[in-house]
């Protein structure tokens, strides 16, 4: 992943061969524009002009067009024929809905994992991050650094389960949910400081259920686990203790 400290699409990258360099320019440009959009370098609704982008990126319009099309089909951009691409606006309602969708998908992934059994490497990965989380949360105080560290642990846990589900379409769809801003499980912890321990305990229970091949329990636990973040998000967004959805 490109350095996040500077703009992903600043330089034509003259001699900086340090970057991994994707197989094609289209792919590398896709990555750079995606990073820039997710980093909020364009305001929501802003149009992305092909020529301007191609000049900033030092490539022709062809790979830029390809990248924009990719990002539009990911749901990150909006496309209108003959009118180009614009950064998609996500309403609060859409962000909240994305959590509901993700809850269903991740619940299904947990069920699949329970039904199909955990491969050895996934089992190891999960036990490792569970232990790491135990250590981290044993500390009396959780500072900024700890929460960032836990965010990575959280991501690894969920990814291991997606992988254990062994269902490509499901993985694709969950990834699509993460393209909605603030809906990624990497961002989860930020507005949910106090409940990290509860979430971690959820992880333990989910793992237990999957190990025990208890598909129903795994599904229900995961569904509640993800959906509870939605509740926290709504609370945080509205400032009210129990928010009523406003569309």
Partner DNA sequence: TCAAGCAAGAATGTATACAAACTTGGCCTG
Partner DNA sequence: CAGGCCAAGTTTGTATACATTCTTGCTTGA
Binding interface with DNA (CB under 7 A): 23-26, 47-51, 59-63, 65-66, 81-85
Site membership for a second copy, residue 180 (CB under 8 A): yes
The distance of closest approach from Cβ of residue 50 to a second copy in the complex, given in angstroms and rounded to an integer, is 13
Q: Which is nearer to DNA, 63 or 133 (CB)?
A: 63
State in angstroms the smallest separation of the CB of 197 from a second copy: 29
φ/ψ (deg, to 5) at 216: -60, -50
E-state strands within the chain: 47-48, 77-80, 84-87
Asked if 193 and 142 touch (Cβ cutoff 8 Å), the reply is yes
Q: Which is nearer to a second copy, 136 or 177 (CB)?
A: 177
User: E-assigned strands of 47-158?
Assistant: 47-48, 77-80, 84-87
Token pair of 211 as six digits: 């190990």
Residues 8 to 27 in contact with a second copy, rule: CB under 8 A:
22-24, 27
Question: Stretches 40-48, 62-70, 126-134, 198-206: which one binds a second copy (CB under 8 A)?
Answer: 62-70
**Chain position carrying tokens 């993460």:** 178
Residue 81 near a second copy by CB under 8 A: yes
Whether the Cβ atoms of residue 85 and residue 47 lie closer than 8 Å to each other: yes
Taking the CA atoms of residue 84, residue 88, residue 94 and residue 99 in that order, the dihedral angle to the nearest 10 degrees is 110
- Footprint on this chain of a second copy (rule: CB under 8 A): 22-24, 27, 65-66, 69-70, 73-75, 81-82, 94, 97-98, 100-101, 104-105, 107-108, 112, 166-170, 172-173, 176-177, 180, 247
């Amino acid at each position: 992943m490109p350095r996040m400290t500077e703009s992903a699409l600043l330089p034509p990258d003259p001699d900086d061969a340090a970057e991994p360099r994707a197989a094609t320019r289209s792919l590398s440009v896709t990555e750079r524009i995606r990073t820039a959009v997710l980093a909020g370098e364009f305001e929501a609704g802003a149009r992305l002009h092909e020529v301007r982008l191609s000049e900033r990126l030092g490539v022709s319009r062809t790979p830029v067009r390809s990248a924009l099309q990719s990002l539009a089909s990911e749901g990150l951009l909006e496309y209108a024929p003959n009118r180009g691409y614009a950064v998609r606006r996500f309403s609060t309602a859409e962000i909240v809905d994305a959590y509901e969708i993700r809850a269903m998908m991740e619940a299904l992934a947990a069920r699949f994992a329970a039904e199909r059994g955990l491969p050895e490497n996934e089992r190891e990965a999960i036990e490792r991050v569970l232990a790491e989380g135990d250590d981290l949360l044993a500390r009396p105080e959780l500072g900024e650094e700890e929460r960032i560290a836990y965010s990575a642990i959280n991501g690894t846990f969920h990814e291991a389960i997606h992988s254990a589900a062994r269902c490509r379409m499901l993985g694709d769809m969950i990834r699509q949910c993460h393209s909605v801003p603030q809906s990624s499980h990497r961002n989860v912890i930020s507005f949910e400081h106090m409940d990290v321990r509860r979430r971690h305990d959820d992880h333990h229970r989910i793992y237990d259920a999957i190990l025990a091949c208890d598909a129903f329990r795994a599904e229900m636990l995961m569904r509640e686990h993800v959906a509870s973040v939605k509740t926290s998000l709504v609370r945080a967004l509205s400032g009210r203790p129990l928010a009523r959805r406003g569309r």
